[in-house]
Structure 1
Amino acid sequence: MKAQGAGRTLRFRLFLLAASGLLPLALVAVMVLAYLSREREHDTQQAALAMSRALATAVDAELEATTGILQSLAASGELVPQRLDEFHALAARIAQRQGWRTITLADAKGRVLQSSALDVHEAAPQAVEPESLQRVIVTGQPAVGPVAEGSFRRGPAFAVRVPVTVDGQLQYVLSAIVPVERINSVVERQHLPNTSVVAVFDQKLQRVARSRLNSSPRPSPSLESVLRQGHAEGVSTTTTLEGVRSRTGYVRLANSQWVIATGLSVEDAERGMLGVVGAFTAGLLASLGLAAFVAWHFARDVSEPIERLEAAASTLGHGEHVHVGTLGIAELERVGEALELASADRERAARERRAAEAEREMLLARVTEALRRAEDAGRSKDEFLAMLGHELRNPLAPMATALHLMARKGDPATRGEREVMERQVAHMKRLVDDLLDVSRITGKRLAMRVQPLRLANLVRHAAEALQPVLGLRRLDVDVAPDAEDLWVSGDEVRLAQVLNNLLGNAIKFTGTEGHIALRLRAQGDQAEITVLDDGTGMPPDVLEHIFDLFYQAPQESDRARGGLGLGLAIVRSLVEMHGGTVAATSSGAGRGSCFVVRLPTIAVPEASAQARGSAALPAGKGRILLVDDNHDAADTAAALLELSGYEVKVAYDPGVALTLLDSFRPDVAVLDIGLPGMSGYELAQRVRAHHNCSHCHMVALTGYGTSADVEKARSAGFAQHLVKPASPDALLNAVQLGLERQKA
């Protein structure tokens, strides 16, 4: 090995060291260049899409302005059969002022009655483009037609049409024939880069406007194949009519279905990357040459200091004073200083002591930083659990409703599978509720609705609710005579949750033919609830952590008992929030478990609480507006309501919901809160302001269920607040209650 090492000079080793240091840099630089190239392509596509969005906003504003002028004209007093001559003169003035070709008036059957471009008594020609006219007549909504050549051959134009209704009936269709030069002027006002090509196409992909003149009235074949996919917006690489390869972004207008496309030249976008690649290659070659020169130059400056260090080390070995002197190389200077200071034990000890103190300070700083990160992680966990619960509730709602619909249709062939799905959906809902409860409890946001409660009723109801899942297990309920009138001050829902969690835990760890006991006793000024089972029991090391958050006893690899380790932690938190205590005992593995809950009692109230819950209200006739951007949730809820005899209109978008109100007068409006573009709170206020829904009963259906969310919904005008996944009965009861309040 020595002979092999002796053949490699220091100069060669220094060169290899420098070159090896450059290799990772070269690899990283190549990856960075590839990443920059991809980012350049992505940025160009996004820039094209942003330009298209901006121009789409301008074009949409132009069309909306035209629609607004026509709607104002439709509301004028001259638009009555007795004053059509005056209306003709008014329309002619507006058309001239706006630069339109003409304004036409058609009746409810699509016959053109007059045109502002002709004399009032001169017969007007029929519509050149009747499709949009018929669409307005059928839908009762404004429409924008495709580009067409009029009968007067004055150049391409398009029609903007609005309905004119009287007492809810369509009487006329008012149309503005707008030359495409209006859209061209919108394109010219955008100050687009010289390298870009911008085009506007109608719903039939005929050209409306283009920033560069071209004889073809349609998009290039590559762009047309992209646009025919029908997406609302997107990006792609296409070739323009001039043969220029471009990054193209396009946007489709929601109302008119027109398309705005912007193409940015690929060659212009990538021109700068060639200079970057050339500069990198030249720099890498220069670095290799410099490494070879530096290795040759500095090798001789290193050999002599190393020889002096060897002599100093030999001197130190003989126990003599060491003096190395100046070596000229920082690393070797430090070695020389270490040799010189090796004989000074006292100074070395002082340095070690100072180093230890510095290390302790660094460790303290690390511990402090770790504590801060742990607190941040705790807050992030709570926020994540709350958002996770909300997002899981959205898909659970349509699943639960769909299963209810399947049950009502009564298909016996799928009954077994349906019941399995119902159990699993209920289990998932319980897990979601546990996650949200943990988040609220740890974040101190859990609201309690405290009222006097009779514990005997609560215990018996909990036992009755458990019967469907007991199987062959036996459940004994024992309420002592002196405990029949035990009352506590608490939240009925949360105390029922405590009993359900304890009984569910007992079922989970008790055999299929085991025995469970539920007892209620009076112990001084406290009520004692005991849950006993003869199941698997718990060893002492499990008992020590049984109420810890996310703790689970050791299980087999199949995790047959499942769970998240939240149920008992929630039990302890809820019991303590009621001023009580909970404890668990077990004689060991296989000898069963015992859980004891103690709650402070109160005096018997003067009037007993009325029994809660009522039978589901019978369904009746009524008109329901249902708004939810989750298509599955909206469709299944609508199917449930329609199956129950209601007339239902569904909207997946708040804007569509407001449009429906023009022709639909709902008795009850069920609105999701987390809608795109407009919150459910804002939508509720706008629905309430609409003349067809001024007395509409408003129901909020949302995944957010805190007391603050309920109060916010009430402030926005909602009469009821349902948390997803709301049961089918809860939804039907809310709708029927709204109808009864409407009748009252």
Structure 2
Amino acid sequence: MTFRWPVASLRSYLVAMILLASVPMAVFMSLQILRDARAQSERLNDSLLRTSAVMAESIDRELVASLDALQLLAEDAPPGDLQALGEHLQQRPRTRSSWQSLFIADPQGRVLVPLAGQPWPLPGEPAPDALGAQHVSDLVESQGRRAVVVSVALQGGHRLAAWIDVAHWQAMLGRVGEPLGGYAALFDGGRRIIARTRAPERAVGQPLPASAVAAMGQRASGVHRTVLLEGDATVVGWHAVGGTAWGVAVGVLSDPIEQQHRRALFTAVGTAALCLLLGVAMALWMARRVTGPLLALGAAGDGLAADGRPHPAPVREIEALRDAVMTARQEEAAARLRLQRQADEFEALFRGSPIGLAFAQDAQCQKVLRNRALDDMMRGPPGAEGAPVDVLQDGRLLMGPELPLAVAARTGLPVPAAELELRAGHAPARFVIMQTVPLLDTDGRSRGAIGAVLDITDRKRAEARLLDIDRERTALVEREQAARREAEQANQAKDEFLAMLGHELRNPLNAVASAVEVLKLLGGGGERADDARDIISRQTRHLAHLMDDLLDMARVASGKVVLERRPLDLGKLVAALVATMRLSGDTREHTLSTELQEVWVDADSIRIEQVAGNLLTNALKYTPPGGHVQVRVAAEGQEAVLEVRDNGVGIPPQLLTRAFDLFVQGERSLDRRAGGLGVGLTLVKRLVELHGGSVTAESAPAGSGEPGGPREGSVFRVRLPRIPSPPPPDARGQPSQLRGRTVLLVEDNDDALQALKAVLELDGHRVSTAADGEQGLALLLQQLPEVAVVDIGLPKLTGFEVARRSRAAGYAGRLIALSGYGMVTNTRQALQSGFDAHLTKPVDFDRLRELFDDR
């Protein structure tokens, strides 16, 4: 059913239009003002609630501080009679400036020993023997003054108490502040006002209004409307103070806010009504101006006067309408001429176009005109002229009604471009693309169709030739992408495995290393104990070296290694490394000679030491006992050269080109006494390249020389950019002697905990321990040790949480993190949580002792 507008005058339509435009706007404005008023009330409620919570927290901190100070005095008091207790407490300075007096009371509340200021009795309700270990009273009025009494229990039912004048609470409310045009009040458990910023002289000691008490009930916080003692209507937000029955209320007068809302609503409604009246009046006036000329134009017919000239009109738009009618007749004649010309042009295009065109002149497609190009396509190839031409689509033969031209003419809908195959006898097929659109009459019904046919036979043949090439290329790309995905997944799995393996092995390594340090510090134990210590130490170093190589290889491969460069004497570093290996016994079965010059490089000392250590360890592994290893450091032009030469088994030629590939190893005996994972040389190459250097390997396998001649082994050369020698450093003082400290050790692995505790105690420190995060945080805040060593992976609370909470509570001592994870992100996260340093398991005790140093 078609909707039709009702017949009405232009005046009625204009008035309706003004009403439809103005009334919804007025309603919307009113609703928006109401919504804004509601939102403003909600923001006011939130502000009052937050302000009361802040004030409650401030009052709670003051009460807790007073009770804690009393508790410390009570715990510090010596046992004995009350007189001795009083003399001891009188010698102590008054801890809190807010206390007006300090005294000892008996179980009945009588003052026994006044300590400072004017003593007050304890409040009668509840009875003193019903008070807890710590108690905060409600408002007490005595001797013409108002105050609050805080007390803690002593032996024998006596209590150590102090009273705080209401002026102190009044001052605290004033410091925290009050809302603009409002007030803040503090009330006790009996719902009596202790302090108020507005007219405190009338309010203190008065009970809260009954409406306020009923609205608060037993809730800890909320917002309600009530009436002040002075009779003013207010909006009040309240919040309970800590674990006490006290509360803080913050309020503002509600009458000004509500009056402001009413004024805004009345203003909006009045403005909308005035605009509506003005709009209706303007619509009536405009309708009168427009309808008169229109009626005159209708009476004048074509707008021409009797003399043939245009009839005058008072409205420009009506004049334009009249002129448009005249112009339209002129344009109609010109359009007929243009259409005739276009028809002639289309006829020439239809007959001369190289694209096949078909024109169906009726919806049944009974009369079809075809141009010469389409006739040539349908005639068939040479040798098959006159043979019937079959039209196929996707291998299916199309009958007459299924052809695209017939479909478009019958349905009146365009047929998208379709690829068709033309077959005539046994001749090769021809391929075309045909697209058809319907021709519609004025009522939208089909009166025929027109189709365009493009011959694409040559293109199809070219596509067929390229199709096989494209399939092969696609298959290659898919195989390459699959291989890449598998490699990425394998690499990710490897990195995750290495990180977890390192974490799981570092905990037992830490315990073993700590036990070794305890044995070294204790000494003694006989020859077998010494051998056991040596074995444990050597195997721990071996395991740590393996884990360091694995994890460093993973970091290097993922680009997460950050170099800490500084000027470094390469010869001195290698000399120290060789001395360490000799002391550890790693070279006892070989002859190790050195030729070390002073050569300076800009490098990370730890990483370059790792490079030299891996090359020396590799040479010792592949050199039989009694063999010779030579280390040389020299300057060659602008490069520093580190050369490690051995006369071992050498590297086979087939492995020499892959010596620095990951997991590639030389031939090993079945027992694998030399150990290793095949990552050392790969790590060497990656670290050297990170420093801008290069590493090469040369080898002549053993036995390749003359019979009886010297054995030829392997030679590894590392070349690094050389820098000038830096100036000598300033003379520095001798390191200070490490003094004993108070230490808290938090570790959930019991073996590691006991071993590390023993090491620290043997170093002269006083050590306390905790096995989880919650216990560790409690002891840390209670004992305030000078140093806290905290494991990261703790139950209940992680080490990061312990650090953050202790720093937030004001702990200023030294925090040292222990972790089985050694990634750069782990160190950064530890420092951001509040730790001063981060150590990776197993613990480097020299580094740990440096962190204990005052410097």
TM normalised by structure 1 equals: 0.51
* Aligned counterpart in structure 2 of residue 469 of structure 1, from 586, 593, 602: 586
Count of aligned positions: 423
Residue type of the alignment partner of 1:720? A
User: CA offset at residue 701 of structure 1?
Assistant: 2.1
Determine helix, strand or coil for the equivalent of 2:549: helix
Matches within 5 A, 1:380-459: 380-410=493-523, 411-412=525-526, 413-459=528-574
Matches within 5 A, 1:259-298: none
What's 1:122 paired with? none
* Aligned counterpart in structure 2 of residue 89 of structure 1, from 119, 122, 125: 125
What's 2:662 paired with? 549
Determine helix, strand or coil for the equivalent of 2:125: helix
CA contact (8 A) 1:106 1:112 kept: no
Determine helix, strand or coil for the equivalent of 1:81: strand
CA contact (8 A) 1:698 1:717 kept: yes
1:414-450 per-residue CA deviation (whole Å, 9 max, x = no partner) reads 2112211111011000011011101110000001011
What's 2:90 paired with? none
Measured in 1, the distance between the counterparts of 2:700 and 2:689 equals 25
Q: Which stretches in structure 2 are left out of the alignment for 5+ residues?
A: 1-60, 71-98, 110-121, 133-150, 160-427, 430-463, 704-711
What's 2:166 paired with? none
1:354-399 per-residue CA deviation (whole Å, 9 max, x = no partner) reads 9998798567535423321321221232232123212321221111
Measured in 2, the distance between the counterparts of 1:406 and 1:655 equals 32
User: CA offset at residue 92 of structure 1?
Assistant: 8.8
Measured in 2, the distance between the counterparts of 1:73 and 1:87 equals 17
* Aligned counterpart in structure 1 of residue 699 of structure 2, from 580, 586, 604: 586
Measured in 1, the distance between the counterparts of 2:480 and 2:578 equals 49
* Aligned counterpart in structure 1 of residue 793 of structure 2, from 674, 694, 703: 674
Measured in 2, the distance between the counterparts of 1:698 and 1:433 equals 25
What's 1:569 paired with? 682
Measured in 2, the distance between the counterparts of 1:453 and 1:372 equals 42
Measured in 2, the distance between the counterparts of 1:582 and 1:702 equals 33
Q: CA RMSD in A?
A: 3.9
CA contact (8 A) 1:625 1:666 kept: yes
Determine helix, strand or coil for the equivalent of 2:626: coil
Matches within 5 A, 1:122-201: none
Residue type of the alignment partner of 1:81? I
CA contact (8 A) 2:695 2:719 kept: yes
CA contact (8 A) 1:440 1:446 kept: yes
Determine helix, strand or coil for the equivalent of 1:579: coil
Residue type of the alignment partner of 1:89? E
Identity %: 38
User: CA offset at residue 712 of structure 1?
Assistant: 3.4
Measured in 1, the distance between the counterparts of 2:66 and 2:577 equals 67
Measured in 1, the distance between the counterparts of 2:498 and 2:730 equals 35
Measured in 1, the distance between the counterparts of 2:477 and 2:829 equals 45
Which structure has the bigger radius of gyration?
2
Q: Which stretches in structure 1 are left out of the alignment for 5+ residues?
A: 1-67, 97-104, 115-345
* Aligned counterpart in structure 2 of residue 723 of structure 1, from 827, 833, 840: 840
What's 1:294 paired with? none
What's 1:630 paired with? 749
1:595 has 2:716 as partner: yes
CA contact (8 A) 2:571 2:633 kept: yes
CA contact (8 A) 2:781 2:806 kept: no
Matches within 5 A, 1:294-305: none
Residue type of the alignment partner of 1:585? E
CA contact (8 A) 1:619 1:645 kept: no
1:131-159 per-residue CA deviation (whole Å, 9 max, x = no partner) reads xxxxxxxxxxxxxxxxxxxxxxxxxxxxx
* Aligned counterpart in structure 1 of residue 765 of structure 2, from 612, 625, 646: 646
Determine helix, strand or coil for the equivalent of 1:488: strand
Q: 1:557 to 1:112 in 2, by over 3 A?
A: same
Residue type of the alignment partner of 2:613? N
CA contact (8 A) 2:634 2:641 kept: yes
Residue type of the alignment partner of 1:458? L
CA contact (8 A) 2:67 2:152 kept: no
Measured in 2, the distance between the counterparts of 1:395 and 1:636 equals 11
Measured in 2, the distance between the counterparts of 1:113 and 1:434 equals 67
CA contact (8 A) 1:447 1:706 kept: no
What's 2:255 paired with? none
What's 2:42 paired with? none
Measured in 1, the distance between the counterparts of 2:801 and 2:677 equals 37
Measured in 1, the distance between the counterparts of 2:794 and 2:124 equals 44
Measured in 2, the distance between the counterparts of 1:726 and 1:584 equals 35
User: CA offset at residue 654 of structure 1?
Assistant: 1.6
Residue type of the alignment partner of 1:401? S
Measured in 2, the distance between the counterparts of 1:435 and 1:356 equals 45
Q: Which moved more, 1:651-660 or 1:662-671?
A: 662-671
1:14-47 per-residue CA deviation (whole Å, 9 max, x = no partner) reads xxxxxxxxxxxxxxxxxxxxxxxxxxxxxxxxxx
Measured in 1, the distance between the counterparts of 2:688 and 2:786 equals 43
Determine helix, strand or coil for the equivalent of 1:695: coil
What's 1:683 paired with? 802
User: CA offset at residue 579 of structure 1?
Assistant: 0.9
TM normalised by structure 2 equals: 0.45
1:713 has 2:843 as partner: no
What's 1:246 paired with? none
1:508-566 per-residue CA deviation (whole Å, 9 max, x = no partner) reads 11122111111122222112221111111111012121111111123232222221001
Residue type of the alignment partner of 1:446? V
Q: 1:582 to 1:359 in 2, by over 3 A?
A: closer
